């Protein structure tokens, strides 16, 4: 299985765009009126990885507790400029990851994510599919990635993404940035992505166009083939 990506696609954008993205992202931490140590730690990790300036960090942390309606709209306008890219799906995936940092997904956090998705033209069905894959991976975070159960969860989740037209690469791009133990989403989907013609360039997943809606069954079968080939390759290398 290829190495999981280390680079978040947001790193390729200007700091103004990064601040808008991260302000929208960080505000989900307080959607349920709670901002715990785990959420703060993950936000710190993310800001360091993206290399946000001290001024930018101040703006982002301010948005956690005090994202005014007009500021939110301004940030969303910036994000909407990016909405013709697959980064909008990565944002929804990042929002779900952040909501799960404290191992609970509240109704307030879910509604916040739905609202952001609506602005970006992402359907509730697509949001739910992304949310589901993150929740499933959180449940198997301590299971070895070469186990049958892990493989089955990844296969079912990826098929669900394909079934609603969510680009797999855009979701895979979000996982490892937080250093979560559930980073199987990045390693598993990056490996699967290689089977669909996605490459690894500079440590980042190269995202290809979305798999057509309605190909969920085909995705499952292709996943079986790719996984089997990978296991056979590993067996040869270890022999």
- The mean pLDDT value for 135-160 works out to 77
Residues 6+ away with beta carbon under 8 Å from 200: 2, 3, 5, 190, 194, 206
Do the domain assignments include residue 1? no
User: Nearest Cα to 110, choosing from 93, 125, 131?
Assistant: 131
DSSP string, 85-113: STHHHHHHHHHHHHHTTTT---HHHHHHH
Question: Is it the case that residue 150 has pLDDT exceeding 70?
Answer: yes
Return the pLDDT at 128: 95
- The mean pLDDT value for 176-191 works out to 46
Burial 182-210 (b: 16+ CB within 10 A, else e): bbbbbbbbbbbbbebebeeeeebbebeeb
Return the pLDDT at 238: 54
Return the pLDDT at 50: 86
pTM of the complete model? 0.74
Return the pLDDT at 33: 66
Do the domain assignments include residue 2? no
Q: What is the β-pairing status of strands 200-201 and 204-205?
A: antiparallel
Do the domain assignments include residue 3? no
Contact 190, 4 (CB under 8 A): yes
Q: Residue 44's pLDDT band (boundaries 50, 70, 90)?
A: confident
Average the pLDDT over each of 22-26, 161-165, 167-171 and give the range with the smallest value.
Answer: 167-171
* Residue-wise pLDDT tens digits, 66-108: 655 566 667 777 777 767 788 899 899 888 888 887 777 888 8
Do the domain assignments include residue 217? yes
Do the domain assignments include residue 44? yes
User: Nearest Cα to 122, choosing from 76, 70, 164?
Assistant: 164
- The mean pLDDT value for 165-169 works out to 83
Burial 80-119 (b: 16+ CB within 10 A, else e): eebbeebbbbbbbbbbbbbbbbbeebeeebbebbbebbeb
User: Which residue segment(s) compose the domain that 75 sits in?
Assistant: 9-238
Residue with tokens 């505000």: 27
| Mean pLDDT value across the chain | 70
Do the domain assignments include residue 4? no
The more confident residue out of 61 and 71 is 61
The percentage of the chain sitting over the pLDDT mark of 90, rounded to a whole number, equals 10
Tally of structural domains, the chain: 1
Contact 23, 63 (CB under 8 A): yes
Return the pLDDT at 106: 85
The percentage of the chain sitting over the pLDDT mark of 70, rounded to a whole number, equals 62
Do the domain assignments include residue 233? yes
Q: How many CB atoms lie within 10 A of CB 230?
A: 17
Residue 210 Rama label (left phi>0; alpha psi -120 to 50; beta): beta
Return the pLDDT at 148: 82
């Amino acid at each position: 299985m290829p190495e999981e990506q280390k680079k978040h696609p947001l790193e390729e954008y200007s700091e103004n765009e990064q601040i808008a993205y991260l302000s929208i992202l960080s505000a989900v931490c307080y959607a349920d009126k709670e901002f715990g140590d785990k959420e703060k730690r993950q936000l710190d990790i993310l800001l360091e990885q993206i290399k946000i300036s001290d001024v930018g960090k101040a703006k982002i942390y301010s948005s956690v507790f005090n994202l005014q309606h007009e500021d939110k709209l301004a940030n969303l306008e910036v994000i909407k400029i990016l909405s013709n890219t697959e980064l909008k799906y990565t944002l929804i995936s990042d929002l779900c990851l952040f909501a799960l940092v404290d191992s609970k997904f509240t109704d307030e956090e879910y509604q916040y994510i739905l609202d952001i998705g609506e602005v970006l033209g992402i359907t509730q069905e697509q949001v739910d599919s992304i949310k589901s894959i993150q929740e499933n991976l959180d449940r198997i975070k301590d299971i070895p990635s070469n186990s049958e159960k892990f493989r089955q969860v990844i296969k079912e989740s990826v098929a669900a993404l394909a079934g609603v037209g969510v680009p797999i690469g855009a979701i895979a791009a979000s996982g490892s940035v937080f250093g979560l133990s559930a980073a199987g989403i990045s390693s598993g989907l990056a490996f699967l992505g290689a089977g669909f013609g996605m490459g690894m360039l500079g440590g980042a997943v190269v995202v290809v166009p979305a798999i057509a809606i309605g190909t969920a069954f085909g995705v499952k079968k292709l996943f079986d083939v790719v996984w089997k080939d990978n296991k056979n390759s590993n067996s040869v290398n270890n022999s």
